[in-house]
Amino acid sequence: MEEMTFHYSYIMIVILLVVGLYGMLAKRNLVKKVIGLNIFQSAIFLFFIKGAIKEGATVPVIDPELGVEAGLYFNPLPHVMILTAIVVGVAITGVAMALLLTIYRHYGSLDEHRIMERMSK
């Protein structure tokens, strides 16, 4: 049981990955696919943030009591990368929603099968 609580966050990340992947692959509505993409992205962000945690480490400001050994401090790079990835994810979602609006105006539907039928005519 102790191992289960230790890996609880990773189990939740895998659940989010599966839900997001299911939303992207199994749903026919394009808005639901974009929502699945956002859930999948969030799981990846959580995975990187969880992987950057170091037990017993402190903020990356050199403390005279601790010295300059790098192993005693958090690495801020993963957090900065995730912050950038969040901004890129929001931009991707905005562009996707604009494209979906254009698709809806042109084809009158967001169901991928109906769109493919209307494209083939």
Q: Tell me, what CATH number does 83's domain have?
A: 1.10.287.3510
pTM of structure: 0.83
Say how many domains are in the chain: 1
Report the mean per-residue pLDDT for the chain.
90
pLDDT tens digits, residue range 14-31? 999 999 999 999 999 999
Q: For residues 98 and 31, what is the distance between their CA atoms, to the nearest angstrom?
A: 11
Cβ-contact 18, 36 below 8 angstroms = no
Q: For residues 54 and 106, what is the distance between their CA atoms, to the nearest angstrom?
A: 51
Q: Which domain holds residue 31?
A: 2-120
